Amino acid sequence: MAFFIASSPHSHSRKSTSDIMMTVVMSAIPGIAALCYFFGWGVLIQTAIAALTAVVAEAALMLVRKRPVIRTVRDNSALLTGVLVGIAIPPLSPWWLAVIGTLFAIVVAKHLYGGLGQNLFNPAMVAYVVLLISFPAHMTSWMPEASLLPEHVSFLDTAYSIFTGFSIDGFSVQQLRQTVDGTTMATPLDTVKIALNSGRTVSEALSEPVFGMFAGLGWSWVNLAFLLGGLFMLQRNIIRWHIPIAMLASLFLCSLIGFVISPDGVASPIIHLFSGATMLGAFFIATDPVSASTTDKGRLVFGALIGLLIYLIRTFGSFPDGVAFAVLLANMCVPLIDYYTKPDVYGQGGRA
């Protein structure tokens, strides 16, 4: 028998880091499939580009640092980071966007701090925020839901657009994003924010074609798919319930209070829960074992803080979806949260 000393994340589920990371990747498949169904093949291509970039960058850094390459790559942490970055990138964005974001996540947000178990912030969310601030036009240009497009965008057209900027027939990305009425359409959360900023009400915003029966067209099913994957991880004891439940409960409570006070001035709790990256953030991002709180009470505080920040950013901030910013801000508070929520030492009545 051999005893190995390794960095976090540590788990009591008798599963290796490699198994845990791969289970998270597999659990994201329903959400990725839903994204592909409603928003096109670009989601799959961007995810593949980011995942490949992450694995190659991880291997190259291990060679530079003179660390075991195969063993490190096989822990699947880089693969998971790449998948999360790829999911967050709009489908028809240029290929180099996924490469730049993933390289920043692996090189700066992860290995600059020492590698797996040492990073203070969630690498995928660091990459997303860097891309959003640096390339806002690309990062806010999501495809309309497939039923709103005049023609189906094929896999080859999507690939050509990502790598050349034009489809096989010479249509630009802007033209491919046009709906049946010849206009481009924002995401549901964008639509609500634009309507409110222009003096319209939430009820008027909900009349836009981008909304379905109870939330964003397509986005509600995407969130349900990521919720399904999250419940699977809970059932397999891959993640703990504290962070996602606290985050969703906090977001629901804040949005409910706001909606009761001003039903025409803020989005409803259903829109907040089933639009944007809510379920992805709750189950796949906020639960990162390295950058999240490590105590049960701390996880509840950490999740609730993220939910509150998401609501505040979505309602009062400049960006329509605040999941990434909320997670990074909460990551900054983890040392303080852990300090005040850590259990007392056995036999010691209080903290010295």
The pLDDT, as a whole number, for residue 1 is: 47
Q: Report yes or no on 352 lying in a domain.
A: no
Q: Is the pLDDT of residue 8 over 60?
A: no
Same domain, 52 and 197: no
Euclidean distance between CA atoms 105 and 121, whole angstroms: 10
The residue among 300 and 208 whose pLDDT is bigger is 300
Q: Report yes or no on 260 lying in a domain.
A: yes
Q: What percent of the chain has pLDDT over 70?
A: 92
Last residue of a domain, one of 167, 183, 199: 183
Same domain, 27 and 176: yes
Report residue 73's pLDDT band, with 50, 70 and 90 as the boundaries: confident
What mean pLDDT is reported for the chain?
88
Residue 326, class by beta-carbon neighbours within 10 Å (0-12 exposed, 13-18 middle, 19+ buried)? buried
The pLDDT, as a whole number, for residue 17 is: 84
The residue among 121 and 352 whose pLDDT is bigger is 121
Mean pLDDT of 231-241: 94
Phi-psi domain of 130 (left: phi exceeds 0; alpha: psi -120 through 50; beta: other)? alpha
Residue 181, class by beta-carbon neighbours within 10 Å (0-12 exposed, 13-18 middle, 19+ buried)? exposed
Q: Report yes or no on 267 lying in a domain.
A: yes
Helix (H, G, I), strand (E, B) or coil at 298: helix
Same domain, 293 and 257: yes
Q: Report yes or no on 239 lying in a domain.
A: yes
The CA-atom distances, in angstroms, between 21 and each of 56, 141, 178 are: 17, 30, 37
Same domain, 196 and 335: yes
End-to-end CA gap in the chain: 40
Range of the domain at 284: 185-340
The pLDDT, as a whole number, for residue 3 is: 45
At 166, give phi and psi (nearest 5°): -140, 150
Q: Report yes or no on 255 lying in a domain.
A: yes
The pLDDT, as a whole number, for residue 4 is: 47
Same domain, 58 and 206: no
The residue among 118 and 314 whose pLDDT is bigger is 314
Query: Worst-scoring range by mean pLDDT, 114-123, 151-160, 265-274?
Result: 114-123
Q: What percent of the chain has pLDDT over 90?
A: 57
Q: Which of 66, 121, 273 has its CA nearest to residue 189?
A: 273
The pLDDT, as a whole number, for residue 185 is: 67
pLDDT in tens, 150-164: 888 899 999 999 999
pTM score: 0.89
Query: Worst-scoring range by mean pLDDT, 46-55, 170-179, 233-242, 308-317?
Result: 170-179
Looking at the DSSP bridge assignments, the partners of residue 184 are: 178
Euclidean distance between CA atoms 278 and 306, whole angstroms: 11
Same domain, 330 and 195: yes
Q: Report yes or no on 349 lying in a domain.
A: no
Last residue of a domain, one of 165, 183, 201: 183
Euclidean distance between CA atoms 153 and 25, whole angstroms: 26
Q: Is the pLDDT of residue 6 over 70?
A: no
Looking at the DSSP bridge assignments, the partners of residue 172 are: 166
Domain count, the chain: 2
Euclidean distance between CA atoms 217 and 149, whole angstroms: 13
Q: Residue 216 carries which DSSP code? A: B
Q: Report yes or no on 157 lying in a domain.
A: yes
Q: Which of 325, 329, 334, 330 has its CA nearest to residue 293?
A: 334
Last residue of a domain, one of 158, 183, 208: 183
Tokens matching residue 346: 């056995």
Same domain, 22 and 114: yes
Q: Report yes or no on 64 lying in a domain.
A: yes
The residue among 146 and 158 whose pLDDT is bigger is 158
Same domain, 216 and 336: yes
Report residue 270's pLDDT band, with 50, 70 and 90 as the boundaries: very high
Euclidean distance between CA atoms 222 and 237, whole angstroms: 23
Same domain, 198 and 70: no
Same domain, 264 and 212: yes
Euclidean distance between CA atoms 122 and 116, whole angstroms: 11
The pLDDT, as a whole number, for residue 274 is: 93
pLDDT in tens, 277-314: 999 999 999 999 888 998 999 999 999 999 999 999 99
Same domain, 214 and 159: no
Q: Is the pLDDT of residue 183 over 70?
A: no
Same domain, 179 and 189: no
